[in-house]
Structure 1
Amino acid sequence: MSGLRVSVDKDTGVAVVTLDRPARLNAVDLELAGELATTWREFRYDDSVRAVVLTGAGERAFCTGIDRDVSVPQPGSPYMQDDPLLKVGPKANDLWKPVVAAVAGMACGGAFYLLGEAEFVVADETATFFDPHTTYGMVSAYESMLMAQRMPYGEAARIALMGTAERISARRAYEVGLVSEVTPVGEALASASRCATVLAGYPPEAVQGTVRALWAGREAALSAAYAQAPALIALGNLPAGRQAELFAARRNGGHRVR
C-alpha cells in the first residue's frame, strides 16, 4: 500500500503531497522514501504543477522521521553512509518549484530533511518539534545542519542536544524563525494552500529562479557540512543494538514543551 497521496489542482497549479502513514505517525520507510523522490522528480516535468504543499495525514504527526523498523546495512568505513532520507526532499531531487510545508502534531528527527528543503513552514497550534537522536545514542548530523540554517545557532543546538527531553511548541518555533505562521488547530493545510496558490499564480520562471537563488545562498555551507556528516555519524553513533535498547526503554511524558 502506498504511503504517499498526491493530488493536483489543475486550475490553481497547486499539488498537495501527503505523507499517508498515520498509523506509523507518518514515519518514512524505504517505500515512502522512494515514492517521495519519484514524485519530486516527476514534478520537474509537469508544467501544470507550479507550487507544492507538503503535509502529513492524521492529527498526531506531520512526520516522525525514519521508520524504526527500517534496516539499512552500512559500509564499514566511517567516510561512507547510506542514508535513505538524503533523497526524500525536493532540492535533493533538483526540483526548484516552491514547496510550503503544513505541520500539525509532531515533527521530529528525520522530518527535518523535509522541513529543511521547504521554502517555509506553516504550523497549527498542535505542532511540536524535537530531535530525538542524542537520547538514543545517535548523532544528529544532517538534521542539525539543515536546522542551523533555519534557526539561530543556540536554538538549533538546543533542539539537537536536548533530544526527547524537550519539544519546541509551534509558538516558540515561530519566535525563532523555524515556522513562518501559526494557525488555529486544523488550519495549517488551508493556510499553506492559500500561500501556494499565490505562488502558483505568478510567472513560474521568476518564482523558480527566486527559489534557486534562495537555496544558492545556503548551498555552499550545506555542501561543506554534509561532507563531514558520514564520518561524524559513523564515529558517534552507538551500535544499532544499543540504540534499540534505549529506544525500547523510552518513557512517554518525560519531555517538556517550551
Structure 2
Amino acid sequence: MRKFETLGYEQADGVAWVTLDRPDRLNAFDLVMIEELHGLWRDLRVDDDVRVIVLTGAGDKAFSTGIDRSVNIAQPASPYMPVDPMPKIGPKTSELWKPLIVAVNGFACGGAFYLLGECEFVIAAEHATFFDPHTTYGMVSGFESTHLAQRMPFGEVMRLTLMGNAERMSAQRAYETGLVSQVVPADRLHETARWAAEVIASYPPHGVQGSLRALWAARDLTRAQALTIAPHLITMGNLPPEDQEALFHRRGKDFRVR
C-alpha cells in the first residue's frame, strides 16, 4: 500500500482512488503534495494493476483551491525563467496515459484547473462550484485559463477568468458548458465515479489507452495529423479478431442512461 503525507490512496478492482488530503487548507497544494502527486502519476504509468484513476478531495467543502498561498517559491531575477512547480501535478504532463476521472465535491478554483484540464472527464456534486481568482489578486491566469479553453466555449472561459472572485460557476452551468460530464447529488458522487471507473477498468486496457491517446491527439493536433496517427494506435491496441469475437458474445445487456 502506498503511503503519503498529503494524499489518500486506495486501490481495488483495477481502480486507484486518490484523495487530495489537506482539508484544513481546503486541499490546497503545498510543495509536498505537488511532489507526491507527480511521483504517483509517474509510478502509476508502470503499475499494470491500475487501469483507471479516480481523483477527489477530502471533505465536502472544496476539491482544491490551487496552490497554498503560504508556499514561498524563490524566483530568479530573470523574468524569462520563472519557477512554477504546478505543471508537474498534471497527469498528462507526467506522461500518465491512463483514464483519470475527477470527482469534484465542493468548489474548485485556480490551480485545481491543472487537474481538471488534464483529466478525461469530471463528475461533480450538485453543490460544486468553479471560479478562477487570479485577476482579483492582480495575477495572470495563464495555465489555468488555457486548460479551460480546451474544454469550454471561449466566452464562458473569458467570463470565468475575468470575473475572478466575484462570480462562481455552478455545477449545472459547468455541465452545460462542457467542463463537467455529469452532475449528481453529493451522496451519489462516490458511487457514480466508482461505477464509471470500474466499467472502464473491466475493458481490455490497450484498447482503452489507445482510444484515450487518439482523442488527446485529436484535441492537440490538426485533424489530418490525428488521422495519420490513428492507424498506428489501432494496430497497437486492438485485440486479435478472435478475442474481439469472444468479448462480443459475452457482452452484457445492462446499461445506464446519462
Q: TM-score, normalised by structure 2?
A: 0.83
CA distance in 1, matches of 2:137, 2:174: 23
**Aligned positions of 1:93-242 closer than 5 A:** 93-220=94-221
After superposition, what is the alpha-carbon deviation per residue over 1:141-171, rounded to whole angstroms, capped at 9, x for unaligned? 0000000011000001111110000000000
Secondary structure, counterpart of 1:121 in structure 2? strand
Shift of 1:6: 1.1
Residues 113-144 of structure 1 deviation map (CA, whole Å, 9 limit, x = unaligned): 01101100000111000000000000000000
- The alpha carbon displacement at 1:83 in A equals 1.1
| Structure 1: segments with no counterpart, 5+ residues | 222-258
Structure 1 residues 157-212: Cα deviation after superposition (integer angstroms, max 9, x where no partner): 11111000000000000010100000012322221121111111111001111111
User: Is the partner of 2:93 in helix, strand or coil?
Assistant: helix
The question of 1:48 aligning with 2:34 is answered no
Cα offset, 1:219, TM superposition: 3.1
Any conservation in 2 of the 1:29–1:70 contact (CA below 8 Å)? yes
Equivalents in 1 of 2:94, 2:221: separation in Å? Answer: 17
2: CA distance between counterparts of 1:218 and 1:76? 36
What is the RMSD computed on CA atoms of the aligned residues? 1.2
2:232: which partner in 1?
none
Alignment pair present for 1:70 and 2:76: no
User: Rg larger in 1 or in 2?
Assistant: 2
Deviation at 1:82, TM superposition (A): 1.4
The residue matched to 2:186 in structure 1 has which SS? coil
Distance 1:65 1:54 in 2: 15
SS at match of 1:97: coil
Which deviates further from its counterpart, 58-67 or 212-221? 212-221
SS in 2 for 1:17: strand
- In 2, Cα distance between the equivalents of 1:215 and 1:79? 29
Offset from partner CA, 1:228-253 (integer Å, 9 cap, x none): xxxxxxxxxxxxxxxxxxxxxxxxxx
Give yes or no for contact 1:152–1:176 (8 Å, CA) kept in 2: yes
**Residue of structure 1 equivalent to 2:10:** 7
**Which consecutive unaligned segments of at least 5 residues does structure 2 have?**
223-258
* Contact kept? 1:128, 1:169, Cα under 8 Å: yes
Instruction: Report the more deviating stretch, 55-64 or 190-199.
Output: 190-199
Q: 1:69 aligns to what SS in structure 2?
A: coil
Shift of 1:220: 4.8
Equivalent residue of 1:144, what SS? helix
Identity of aligned residues (%): 60
The structure, 1 or 2, with the larger RCO (C-alpha pairs under 8 Å, 6+ apart) is: 1
Q: CA deviation at 1:215?
A: 1.6
Under a length normalisation based on structure 1, what TM-score does the superposition of the two structures give? 0.83
1:16 aligns with 2:29: no
Aligned length: 219
Distance 2:78 2:207 in 1: 43
